[in-house]
Structure 1
Amino acid sequence: MNQKERMLAGLPYKAWLDGLAEEQLKTKMKIYNYNLYRPDETEKIDKSIRDILGKAGTNVTFLAPFHCDYGKHIEVGNNFTANYNCVILDVSKVIIGDNVLFGPNVSIFTAGHPLHPDSRNSGYEYGIGITIGNNVWIGGNTVVNPGVHIGENAVIGSGSVVTKDIPANVIAVGNPCRILREITEADRQYYHKDKKFDVEDYNS
């Protein structure tokens, strides 16, 4: 098994061997160009992000600047928006469902390093995939760590550090991120805390 195969298998690997550094450089050049497009160059922006990502549905937006390692290990569903300064370290698969929102400065880290300094100084690192279900909202300045699964309809509060799986249909917040409560039908009529919608079409 070469280092790339080890990386994709979730095994310890060395990131500068077997063409991995060259692959990252190619992606960095694509990202560099992506982040320099004018905001009104929408066709170029859309074409560029689809060239970077492994899979992209309809209506996919990453507000510049955006950064990732390989790009092609990222799969994004329909109606996705990442606000400014999204960082995805995709040494392993990152799978994101439909209707997902990222606030500013959201970081998705599949990459990690050994805890013991001797092991860490050997140069070995690892990647464990992350999955994010449909209809998830991740608040700004949130970090999602390797191996995490976030269930559909979940809301992750701003500033959270997600170290463990989060089930569907809950609000979870904090460092480390913990479940605050379930999302219920009663939440439908509110747009923020105790503020009710004053329009009807929100429920369509």
Structure 2
Amino acid sequence: MLVRAIMTPERHLTTLQPSQSLEEALEKINQLGYLSLPVVKNDRFIGYISSLYIYEKYIESGEETMSEFLRSNRIEDFVDTSVKPVVDSMYVEEAAKAFFESNMRFIPIVNHAGVFQGILTQKALFELITKVYGLEDDKIVIYAQEFVGMLKRITDVLERMDVNITNIAKYDTETLGVQEISLRITGADIHDVVRRLEEKGIKVREVVPAKKAQ
């Protein structure tokens, strides 16, 4: 999946111009309840400005009143340009890596011409991961010495029960070659699934029922 599919488009965002005052920036940030906002000029992403950075710079300035500091300074002199945009044709997996490297709450998205398209937020990325990997579905964990053979035995049972597998993950326990097989499933009562598996000699080590919607 490409980042453009889950980004928040520019038309749904509040952005700031470099020529605006810090007073306007702080007012807008506080009004919306955000920590920072993108700064855009001529359809190009310039950077972002945060309320924390504004407060820090006010303290460093030595100005007697904050109101005067905010009115007399422009965003362009305080914008953080360290976060680099990614193209909208980037895969979501690559964008996830960019999040770890930037430690930002959002990543700016541009097209191949460099025109600002929107932002990808951590929330949007995590919601996608939750959906794709079935993190809200029932979970069972089984240990096995031999992954392929055990997986076939498990899927044979689940197929007969019309159970849907939403995710399968394998982890090396680093103990005597034992593999941990974690499955997310839907379509049947998890306790019935566990009972049927154990009737076939498959020991279920962990059971995590799906979280009920609030």
What is the TM-score with the length of structure 2 in the denominator? 0.23
Larger RCO of the pair (alpha carbons < 8 Å, separation 6+) = 2
Higher helix share: 2
What is the TM-score with the length of structure 1 in the denominator? 0.23
